[in-house]
């Protein structure tokens, strides 16, 4: 499993090359749009999801009646996905487009939607859904926000798919859009969603009990980014500190020193982060505090066939083992 990728904080310097890549992407995609669609049967819904976790959920609900593609990979930060030529081609043929919303994909998805020239997947289109509407949102700011506060989302925290309770609501919620596009399969979608949501809620209860059985001193964690809010709420864990100064703002030496002091005084020894964030500072803190870093993928390996529950089991097993050792 890779643990390092392009660092998020280097992105501003790369804006000009990215703009040139996007121009090239659109030009190539225009040629791809001329190629006839092939492969899927006419009755199979073409579903595109922005993240691998969302794609895996859609695949469970759609079953044999959908073909699901994820735009981002588990190793990509969904805030900063590099558009590739085939993305526009996929969206041009999509019956349904599923996105997190809450400005999670605002830096790259809107341009792809417009250039797909597919009315179904535009904002307000009959095939477009922002699934945050089905989630009990956390970290919703109480008042005005500005850039000095970091990478905050005015509508709430969009990192909800590390929590199976949120995924259960999404599974049930997307039945409507799938049924609207393929009414002949509406009952199958509803049955699949009911089954899958039940499995998710059962797993959520089981894991919360498992983690709650740990002593309180072992249920403390450091996270790199404020992206684990829903997971911590689900598993009854306490956030002691974040490695970032504020969301999206890299750690300064003074802040790293404060985090180390908090780790030593609180007894927190586990740092949790996704693989698309840089690990050097986290590894150094863990070394100095006598702890360890748990690096998780940004979602299931959907393209490789991993399902959502298998991803959650892999993630919770790794985290529980680390906390049990702390």
What tokens appear for 268 in the block?
């927190």
pLDDT of residue 157: 95
Please determine, for residue 6, whether its predicted confidence score (pLDDT) is greater than 50: no
What band does 151 get if pLDDT is binned at 50, 70 and 90?
Answer: confident
Q: What is the pLDDT of residues 283-322, one digit of tens each?
A: 999 999 999 999 999 999 999 999 999 999 999 999 999 9
Q: Which residues contact 181 (CB under 8 A, 6 or more apart)?
A: 45, 95, 96, 120, 126, 127
pLDDT of residue 153: 84
What band does 187 get if pLDDT is binned at 50, 70 and 90?
Answer: very high
Say what the pTM is. 0.86
Mind listing the domains of the chain with CATH numbers?
A: 8-202 (3.40.50.1980), 208-325 (3.40.50.1980)
CB atoms within 10 A of CB 144: 7
What tokens appear for 61 in the block?
């609900």
Q: Which of 2-11, 95-104, 225-234 has the lowest mean pLDDT?
A: 2-11
Q: What is the pLDDT of residues 270-286, one digit of tens each?
A: 999 999 999 999 999 99
pLDDT of residue 289: 97
* Average pLDDT over every residue of 181-188: 97
246 close to 288: Cβ distance less than 8 angstroms: no
Q: Which residues contact 316 (CB under 8 A, 6 or more apart)?
A: 207, 210, 211, 235
pLDDT of residue 183: 96
270 close to 296: Cβ distance less than 8 angstroms: no
To the nearest whole number, what is the mean pLDDT of the chain? Answer: 89
Pairing of strands 220-223, 238-242: parallel
Please determine, for residue 7, whether its predicted confidence score (pLDDT) is greater than 70: no
250 close to 9: Cβ distance less than 8 angstroms: yes
202 close to 169: Cβ distance less than 8 angstroms: no
What band does 16 get if pLDDT is binned at 50, 70 and 90?
Answer: very low
Q: Can you point out the beta strands (E) in the chain?
A: 45-49, 66-70, 96-99, 128-130, 220-223, 238-242, 270-274, 292-296
pLDDT of residue 21: 54
What band does 2 get if pLDDT is binned at 50, 70 and 90?
Answer: very low
Q: Which of 74-78, 99-103, 151-155, 172-176 has the lowest mean pLDDT?
A: 151-155
* Average pLDDT over every residue of 2-19: 41
pLDDT of residue 322: 98
pLDDT of residue 23: 45
What band does 31 get if pLDDT is binned at 50, 70 and 90?
Answer: very low
What band does 25 get if pLDDT is binned at 50, 70 and 90?
Answer: low
Q: Which residue has the higher pLDDT, 39 or 286?
A: 286
* Average pLDDT over every residue of 56-84: 96
What band does 258 get if pLDDT is binned at 50, 70 and 90?
Answer: very high
pLDDT of residue 143: 80
Please determine, for residue 36, whether its predicted confidence score (pLDDT) is greater than 60: no
Q: What percent of the chain has pLDDT over 90?
A: 81
pLDDT of residue 255: 97
Please determine, for residue 184, whether its predicted confidence score (pLDDT) is greater than 80: yes
pLDDT of residue 12: 40
Please determine, for residue 9, whether its predicted confidence score (pLDDT) is greater than 80: no
């Amino acid at each position: 499993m890779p643990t390092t990728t392009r660092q998020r904080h280097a992105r501003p310097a790369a804006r000009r090359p990215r703009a040139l890549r996007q121009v090239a992407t659109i030009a190539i995609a225009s040629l791809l749009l001329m190629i006839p669609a092939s492969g899927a049967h006419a009755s199979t819904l073409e579903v595109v999801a922005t993240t691998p976790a969302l794609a895996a959920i859609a695949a469970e609900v759609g079953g044999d009646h959908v073909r699901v593609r994820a735009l981002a990979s588990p190793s990509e930060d969904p805030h900063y996905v590099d558009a590739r030529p085939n993305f526009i081609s996929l969206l041009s043929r999509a019956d349904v487009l599923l996105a997190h919303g809450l400005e999670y994909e605002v830096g790259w998805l809107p341009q792809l939607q417009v250039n797909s020239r597919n009315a179904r997947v535009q904002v307000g289109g009959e095939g477009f859904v922002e699934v945050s509407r089905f989630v009990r949102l956390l970290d919703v700011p109480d008042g005005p926000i500005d850039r000095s506060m970091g990478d905050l989302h005015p509508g709430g925290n969009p990192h909800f798919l590390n929590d199976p309770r949120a995924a259960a609501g999404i599974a049930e919620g997307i039945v409507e859009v799938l049924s609207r596009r393929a009414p002949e399969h509406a009952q199958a979608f509803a049955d699949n969603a009911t089954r899958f949501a039940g499995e998710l809620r059962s797993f959520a209860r089981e894991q919360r009990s498992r983690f709650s059985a740990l002593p309180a001193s072992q249920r403390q964690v450091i996270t790199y980014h404020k992206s684990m809010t829903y997971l911590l709420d689900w598993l009854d864990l306490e956030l002691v500190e974040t490695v970032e100064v504020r969301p999206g703002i890299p750690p300064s030496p003074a802040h790293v020193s404060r985090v180390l002091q908090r780790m030593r005084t609180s007894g927190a020894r586990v740092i949790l982060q996704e693989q698309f964030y840089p690990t050097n500072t986290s590894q150094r803190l863990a070394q100095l505090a006598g702890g360890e870093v748990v690096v998780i993928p940004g979602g299931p390996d959907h393209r490789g066939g991993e399902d959502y529950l298998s991803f959650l089991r892999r993630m919770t097993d790794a985290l529980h083992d680390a906390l049990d050792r702390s």
